[in-house]
Chains A and B, each alone.
Chain A
Amino acid sequence: DGGITQSPKYLFRKEGQNVTLSCEQNLNHDAMYWYRQDPGQGLRLIYYSQIVNDFQKGDIAEGYSVSREKKESFPLTVTSAQKNPTAFYLCASSPDRVDYGYTFGSGTRLTVV
C-alpha cells in the first residue's frame, strides 16, 4: 500500500540535544512538507521541498533543519536552538500539481524531558 511513514511515533529529547524525525513516502510524490501542531491549534508550516536537493523555509523554520537527498525521504532535525520543541509533528506529501491534495503521515509526538 502506498503511503507516508513517520518514525518514531514518540520521541523524547533532553535539553541541548538535536533529534531527527523520519518521513518516508512511496507515493512517488514530488513535494514534501513538515508541519507542527500544538494543542488546540491548527498546523503551522516548518519547511517544504518541491524537488530533490531543494527546500524552502515555512512560517516557523527557526530551530529546525531539513534535507532532501532522495525523492522519497524528507527528514526533519529539531536542533537545540528550538526552545519549545514539544509538539506533534506531521509530514505530508503531494504531487507537484496545484490541483492535487495532500497525504499525511501518522505523526511523531516529541516531548522535551
Chain B
Amino acid sequence: KQEVTQIPAALSVPEGENLVLNCSFTDSAIYNLQWFRQDPGKGLTSLLLIQSSQREQTSGRLNASLDKSSGRSTLYIAASQPGDSATYLCAVRDTGRRALTFGSGTRLQVQP
C-alpha cells in the first residue's frame, strides 16, 4: 500500500528565504505526483503536476522535482513571501489504484 511522508511537518522562515519542502513515497510505480496548497479552512489549490516521465516542473517561483526511482519529490519556493504561508500537500497517483494518496502536509509560515 502506498504511503506518502512529508518532512518537515512545520516550517517557519523569514521573508525572502529560499526553501525546500520534501515528499517521499514508498511505491515508485506512479503515474504522477501533484503538489497542492491549502489555506486554513479552504479547499486545495493545485500548484504543480509532474508526470512520472518528467524530472521537474516550474511555475513562477515554484519548482518541483521528481526522482521516481528513489521515491522522492521536492518543492522549491524561491524568495518566499508572507502570502506563501499555507499548508503544502503532496499526493501521488500510483498504478495500483485510480485515486490520489496524500501526505500529511507541511505547514509553512513566512515571517514578514
Contacts and interface: CB of A to CB of B under 8 A. Distances in A.
16 contacts: A43-B89, A45-B99, A45-B101, A98-B32, A98-B93, A98-B98, A99-B31, A100-B49, A101-B32, A101-B46, A102-B44, A102-B91, A104-B36, A104-B43, A104-B46, A107-B42
B104 A42 contact: yes
Instruction: State the main secondary structure of chain B at its contact with A.
Output: strand
A106 B32 contact: no
Contacts of A31: 98
Interface of A: 6, 31, 33, 35, 40-45, 48, 50, 58, 88, 90, 92, 98-107, 109
Contacts of A105: 43
Nearest to B34: A101
A82 B34 CA distance: 30
B38 to A, nearest CB: 9
B41 interface: yes
Nearest to B93: A98
The number of chain B residues touching the other chain, given as a range, is 20 to 34
Contact of B42 (A35, A48, A102, A106): A106
A50 B13 CA distance: 41
Contacts of A41: 104
A31 B46 CA distance: 17
A100 B12 CA distance: 32
B98 A48 contact: yes
Contacts of B71: none
What are the 8 A-B residue pairs with the smallest beta carbon separation, nearest first?
Answer: A42-B102, A101-B49, A104-B44, A98-B31, A106-B43, A42-B104, A43-B102, A104-B43
Interface string B49-79: 1010000000000000000000000000000
B44 A90 contact: yes
Contacts of A90: 43-44
A103 B91 CA distance: 13
A90 B101 CA distance: 14
Nearest to B35: A101
Nearest to A103: B46
